[in-house]
Amino acid sequence: MFLEVTYEDIDKNRINGSYKLIDLRSPSEYKSETIPGAVNIPIFTDEERKIIGTTYVQESIDKAKLLGVKAASKKLPAIYEQVSQLDKKYNNLIFFCARGGFRSSSVTGLFRTIGINAIKLDGGYKGYRRYVNDNLPKLIEDITFVVLYGNTGTGKTEILKNISEKGYDILDLESSANHRGSTLGGVGLGEPNTQKMFESYLFEALKNRKYNLVFTEGESKKIGKAVIPDYLFDKIRNGINIYISAPMEKRIENILNDYVHNTDNELIEALEHLRRYLGHENINRYIEMIRNKEYKRVIEELIIKYYDPRYESNKRIYVSNFYNLNTNNTANEIINFFKPKIIESSISNFSE
């Protein structure tokens, strides 16, 4: 017999003591999407999972289970070592697989028999996803978004991070997507997050907020591989808009710091996608300049010829403008401007 909890139990803080989520799915399943904060201790490799799944569908359930037992049994000593170390750090270990079936049921039952406080997540990862899908729209109902707009390189993302460090709520859409949103937005960041992971990070950020006034950055509907859900996109679009500007020198420096760190090949690959906008002559010249490490010249030309003209086509009403010479000072100015609204929106009892 094993204990079960739902993700709602976790979200509503009904777990006694500390806990750690353990994802038993294969490495590729975990890499694609998981519950934020979970560690991966896979029962099957990707290849084993494929073979077992094929056997389950094309031959028999019993044969698939036998293959699963044989594959898992070889890994049990190593799995036990990992679980044992986590058991020393946490009061509860919550195991999950795709649907809360064979993998999590077997492992939870086994570890409980040897004295580890193992708990199964009811419904597995799919149960968690249903919970996010049902509750993410509800989370934003009472939120008012303060939306930072401004041309590329004005430091909006760094301002948001500074606001967060000062204890106020932000929704960092770019971090949640692991992409900056533009054609060059993935340079230096690795693989962008999937839609499911994107929504999971949005959920985590909003469920843990202290206020109903949340700062975010104005983005296009699609960021990398992720698409902002309609209900959230509309809420942000109807938020309170502020405009961030900065001198050209600071903008160039910000972009340089974000994009240029042994990323020449990625920059060149990304520039190839701009040929239809900027022409072959310009792109060929920019590529040669990157090879010669003339990054600032390329950045300035891209700002003038590509980014600013595209951005200036957007017409919005702003409640205030902020000139960003120093990120810390600008963050303080924004917080002070909205202080009455922040205090009014306090939800100190939100988690209760």
Query: Tens of pLDDT along 12-36?
Result: 999 999 999 999 999 999 999 999 9
- Statement to judge: residues 82 and 174 lie in one domain: no
- Statement to judge: residues 35 and 73 lie in one domain: yes
Q: In terms of Cα–Cα distance, which of 32, 37, 3 is closest to 19?
A: 37
Q: Are 207 and 140 in contact (CB under 8 A)?
A: no
Model pLDDT for residues 302-312, shown as the tens digit of each residue:
999 998 988 76
Rounded Cα gap, residues 266 and 187, in angstroms:
6
pLDDT band for position 313 (cuts 50, 70, 90):
low
Give me the pLDDT at residue 240, please: 97
- Tell me which of 53-57, 90-94, 116-120, 274-278 is least confident: 53-57
- Statement to judge: residues 126 and 144 lie in one domain: no
- Statement to judge: residues 118 and 150 lie in one domain: no
Residue 286 falls inside a structural domain: yes
Give me the pLDDT at residue 56, please: 83
Q: What percent of the chain has pLDDT over 70?
A: 97
- Statement to judge: residues 182 and 127 lie in one domain: no
139-173 burial, b if ≥16 CB within 10 A, otherwise e? Answer: bbeebbbbbbbbbbbbbbbbbbbbbbeeebbbbbb
Residue 335: give the domain boundaries: 140-344
Rounded Cα gap, residues 182 and 260, in angstroms:
15
Residue 287 falls inside a structural domain: yes
Helix, strand, or coil here: 191? coil
315 pLDDT higher than 80: no
Rounded Cα gap, residues 186 and 192, in angstroms:
7
Q: Are 295 and 217 in contact (CB under 8 A)?
A: no
347 pLDDT higher than 80: no
Write the CATH number for 74.
3.40.250.10
Domain boundary among 97, 132, 167: 132
Give me the pLDDT at residue 348, please: 57
Give me the pLDDT at residue 74, please: 85
Q: Which residues contact 188 (CB under 8 A, 6 or more apart)?
A: 258, 259, 261, 263, 266
Rounded Cα gap, residues 242 and 184, in angstroms:
25
Helix, strand, or coil here: 314? coil
Domain boundary among 132, 151, 180: 132
Residue 70 falls inside a structural domain: yes
Residue 349 falls inside a structural domain: no
Which three-class secondary structure string do you get for 203-270? HHHHHCCCECEEEEECCCCEECCEECCHHHHHHHHCCEEEEEECCHHHHHHHHHHHHCCCCHHHHHHH
Q: Are 350 and 210 in contact (CB under 8 A)?
A: yes
Give me the pLDDT at residue 2, please: 57
186 pLDDT higher than 90: no
**Which residue has 């049994």 as its token pair?**
73
Distance (Å) of CA 298 to CA 151, 164, 230, 292, 325: 17, 32, 35, 11, 22
Domain boundary among 107, 132, 157: 132
- Statement to judge: residues 172 and 243 lie in one domain: yes
Residue 255 falls inside a structural domain: yes
Write the CATH number for 295.
3.40.50
CB atoms within 10 A of CB 210: 16
- Statement to judge: residues 127 and 175 lie in one domain: no
Hey, which residues are catalytic here? 97
Q: Are 324 and 334 in contact (CB under 8 A)?
A: no
- Statement to judge: residues 292 and 158 lie in one domain: yes
Q: In terms of Cα–Cα distance, which of 213, 208, 205 is closest to 339?
A: 213
Q: In terms of Cα–Cα distance, which of 258, 278, 41 is closest to 155?
A: 258
352 pLDDT higher than 70: no
Helix axis angle, 46-58 relative to 61-87, nearest 10°? 150
Average pLDDT of the chain to the nearest whole number: 92
pTM for this model (two decimals): 0.89
Residue 16 falls inside a structural domain: yes
pLDDT band for position 349 (cuts 50, 70, 90):
very low
Instruction: Give the number of domains in the chain.
Output: 2
Helix, strand, or coil here: 145? strand
232 pLDDT higher than 50: yes
As a whole number, mean pLDDT of residues 43-56 equals 88
Lookup: tokens for 273? 């996608």
C-alpha dihedral (36, 140, 145, 237), degrees to nearest 10: 100
- Tell me which of 57-71, 76-90, 157-171 is least confident: 57-71
Give me the pLDDT at residue 351, please: 39
Helix, strand, or coil here: 150? coil
- Statement to judge: residues 273 and 166 lie in one domain: yes
- Statement to judge: residues 163 and 270 lie in one domain: yes
